[in-house]
Amino acid sequence: MKRNRTTVWFIVLLVLFTWAVPEAFAEEPDGPAGHGPRTLMQIVSETIKDEQQAVEDALQNMSSEQKILQLFVVDPEELDPGVWRVTAMSDTIRSRLKEYPVGGIIFFADNLETPKQTRALVTAIRDYAMEQTGLPPILCVDEEGGRVARVSNNDAFGLQKTGAMNTISAEEDAQKAGYYIGSYLYMLGFNMNLAPVADVLTVSDNTSIGDRSFGSDPQTVARLAGAYSHGLHAAGILSTYKHFPGDGATASDTHNGFAYTEKSLQELNSCELVPFSDAQRNGADAVMTAHISLPGVTGDNTPASLSRALTTDLLRKSLGYKGLIITDSLEMGAIIQNYTSSQAAVGAVKAGADLILQPDDFQEAMWALKQAVDSGEISKERLDESVRRIIAAKRGIMRTMGYITNS
Q: Which helix (H) or strand (E) holds 73?
A: strand 72-74
Q: Is the peptide bond before 22 cis (omega within 30 degrees of 0)?
A: no
Burial of residue 277 (number of CB atoms within 10 Å: 0-12, 13-18, 19+): middle
Enter the DSSP assignment of 146.
T
Burial of residue 81 (number of CB atoms within 10 Å: 0-12, 13-18, 19+): exposed
The SS3 call for residue 211 is helix
Do residues 394 and 359 lie in contact, with contact meaning Cβ atoms separated by under 8 Å?
A: no
The per-residue DSSP string of 246-310 comes to: TGGG-SS-TTTS--B----HHHHHTTTTHHHHTTTTTT-SEEEEPS-B-HHHHSS--BGGG-HII
Pairing of strands 104-107, 148-149: unpaired
Cα 5 to Cα 27: distance, rounded to the nearest angstrom: 33
Beta bridge partners of 53: none
Q: Which helix (H) or strand (E) holds 317?
A: none
Beta bridge partners of 73: 104, 357
Q: Is the dihedral of CA 62, 63, 67, 70 positive or negative?
A: negative
Residues 6+ apart with CB under 8 A from 249: 199, 200, 202, 203, 206, 261, 263, 268, 271, 272, 292
Say what the alpha-carbon torsion angle 369, 292, 308, 238 is, to the nearest 10 degrees.
-70
Could you list the active site residues?
A: 255, 328
Q: Is the peptide bond before 243 cis (omega within 30 degrees of 0)?
A: yes
∠ Cα 342 322 296 (to 5°): 65
